């Protein structure tokens, strides 16, 4: 018997894409029930949305602070256990802080915070309550990404010696090449969007993918950003040389002006015995390659996959699962953690990943500003 976990939602109302992604993901394994929410800063709209998706309105609060206050009055067995933070970025920090301090578990969208400093504060807050925090590097929920992690851990490609990852999109082209648009859109306004556009939004996913799959830590980086126009102050493209352990080098490439690319996250990991290649847009194919043996294509759901991978597949081979399923897997892992069940530490990206991501973003900005020099991560 598994009582559904009581989930609160912050943000994600209306036509929010991130909203539907989290709702579907939470329900995927019959683990969660949405019991409370602030879907929208406007309380009326928040209530209307609750009615639209037909959930009870009694715990649709007028704002975040009220939610915390009122929920804390409820007996523990009725109270929201975990909140998903889907709000604009600058709200992640105050919300996560208050939630963690009050013993709520947190599932947080990325970018985690607006500064590395904030991330450290949250890390400390979490340490005190031992609440679960998951940062939604959604792509780690794909079965074949999990398979990479487990294969590398098991030595399938030997000692890793080179990593090459990219995350290429082209969507900002429609803005950046228009002088009017690029000077007015909030996305490219450092005051509103923070210190980085491309790296903070997608480069950090690529960074996380390297560390998630290889189990190695990136130690120092050299970044070169591209702004395209002199009057643009935000990175829309960046290439980052990375150094991990002795002799292990890598490249992290990210772009929002890679014309015609949609959501092109792709990773290649090379070891002294083999190589692995995977692409997010075709997530159910993992290339396992060798210099002397035939190329192998691993696919989800087969018995030859690792337990962690198989745990993320619901149907037999040949039934493609996608990004909703990947996020569903992360929610499943969090559910296990909340319930105190055993779980593999690859089931969801924890606080450390969230903190390191902020460290990475700030370090790349620093490296680029200083003229493409090496900067150590903290």
Residues 261-320 contacting a second copy, CB under 8 A: 261-264, 268, 270-275, 280-284, 287-299, 302-304, 314-320
Q: Which is nearer to a second copy, 51 or 369 (CB)?
A: 51
**Cα separations in angstroms, 78 against 104, 131, 153:** 13, 17, 40
- Say how many C-beta atoms besides its own lie within 10 A of residue 121's C-beta: 15
Q: Which is nearer to a second copy, 281 or 345 (CB)?
A: 281
Q: Does 370 sit near a second copy (CB under 8 A)?
A: no
Terminal alpha carbon distance of the chain: 44
Q: Which is nearer to a second copy, 215 or 317 (CB)?
A: 317
Q: Which is nearer to a second copy, 152 or 355 (CB)?
A: 152
Among 14, 42, 45, 52, binds a second copy (CB under 8 A): 52
**Cα separations in angstroms, 250 against 154, 212, 361:** 21, 14, 16
Cα–Cα dist 234/193, whole Å: 9
> Count residues contacting a second copy (CB under 8 A)?
95
Q: Does 161 sit near a second copy (CB under 8 A)?
A: yes
Q: Which is nearer to a second copy, 216 or 228 (CB)?
A: 228
Q: Which is nearer to a second copy, 88 or 322 (CB)?
A: 322
Locus of tokens 């890679």: 258
Q: Does 372 sit near a second copy (CB under 8 A)?
A: yes
The DSSP code for 286 is: E
Cα–Cα dist 329/335, whole Å: 10
Cα–Cα dist 207/215, whole Å: 12
Looking from the CA of 123 toward its CB, the CA atoms found within 13 Å total 18
Q: Which is nearer to a second copy, 114 or 313 (CB)?
A: 313
Q: Does 325 sit near a second copy (CB under 8 A)?
A: yes
Locus of tokens 């593999």: 344
Q: Does 321 sit near a second copy (CB under 8 A)?
A: yes
Q: Does 43 sit near a second copy (CB under 8 A)?
A: no
Q: How far is the CB of 376 from a second copy (least distance, A)?
A: 15
Q: How far is the CB of 5 from a second copy (least distance, A)?
A: 9
Instruction: Choose one: 112-120, 172-180, 184-192, 351-359; the region binding a second copy (CB under 8 A).
Output: 172-180
Q: Does 260 sit near a second copy (CB under 8 A)?
A: yes
Question: In the structure encoding, which two tokens stand for residue 91, read together?
Answer: 């709200």
Cα–Cα dist 299/147, whole Å: 10
Cα–Cα dist 63/78, whole Å: 19
Q: Does 222 sit near a second copy (CB under 8 A)?
A: yes
Three-state secondary-structure class, residue 317: coil
Among 4, 43, 153, 181, binds a second copy (CB under 8 A): 4
Q: Does 1 sit near a second copy (CB under 8 A)?
A: yes
């Amino acid at each position: 018997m598994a009582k559904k976990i009581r989930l609160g939602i912050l943000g994600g109302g209306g036509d929010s894409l991130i909203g539907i992604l989290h709702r579907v993901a939470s329900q995927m394994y019959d683990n969660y029930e949405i019991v409370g929410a602030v879907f929208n800063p406007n309380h009326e709209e928040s209530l209307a949305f609750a009615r639209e998706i037909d959930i009870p309105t009694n715990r649709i609060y007028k704002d975040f602070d009220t939610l915390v206050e009122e929920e804390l009055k409820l007996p523990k067995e009725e109270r929201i256990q975990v909140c998903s933070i889907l709000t604009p970025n600058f709200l992640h920090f105050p919300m996560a802080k208050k939630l963690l301090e009050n013993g709520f578990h947190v599932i947080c969208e990325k970018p985690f915070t607006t500064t590395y400093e904030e991330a450290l504060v949250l890390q400390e807050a979490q340490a005190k309550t031992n609440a679960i925090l998951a940062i939604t590097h959604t792509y780690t929920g794909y079965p074949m990404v999990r398979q990479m992690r487990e294969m590398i851990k098991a030595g399938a490609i030997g000692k890793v010696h080179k990593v090459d990852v990219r995350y290429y999109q082209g969507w900002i082209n429609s803005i950046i090449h228009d002088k009017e648009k690029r000077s007015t859109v909030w996305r490219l306004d450092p005051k509103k969007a923070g210190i980085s556009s491309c790296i903070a939004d997608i480069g950090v996913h690529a960074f996380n993918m390297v560390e998630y799959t290889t189990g190695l830590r990136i130690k120092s980086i050299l970044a070169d950003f591209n702004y395209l126009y002199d009057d643009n102050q935000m990175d829309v493209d960046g290439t980052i040389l990375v150094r991990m352990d002795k002799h292990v080098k890598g490249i992290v490439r990210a772009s929002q002006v890679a014309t015609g690319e949609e959501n092109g996250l792709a990773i290649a990991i090379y070891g002294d015995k083999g190589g692995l290649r995977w692409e997010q847009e075709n997530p159910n194919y993992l290339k396992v390659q060798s210099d002397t043996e035939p190329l192998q294509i691993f696919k989800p759901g087969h018995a030859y996959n690792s337990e962690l991978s198989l745990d993320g597949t619901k149907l037999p081979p040949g039934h493609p699962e996608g990004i909703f399923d990947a996020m569903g897997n992360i929610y499943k892992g969090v559910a296990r953690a909340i319930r105190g069940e055993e779980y593999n530490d690859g089931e969801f990206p924890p606080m450390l990943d969230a903190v390191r991501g902020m460290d990475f973003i700030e370090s790349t900005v620093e490296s680029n500003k200083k003229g493409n020099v090496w900067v150590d991560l903290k």
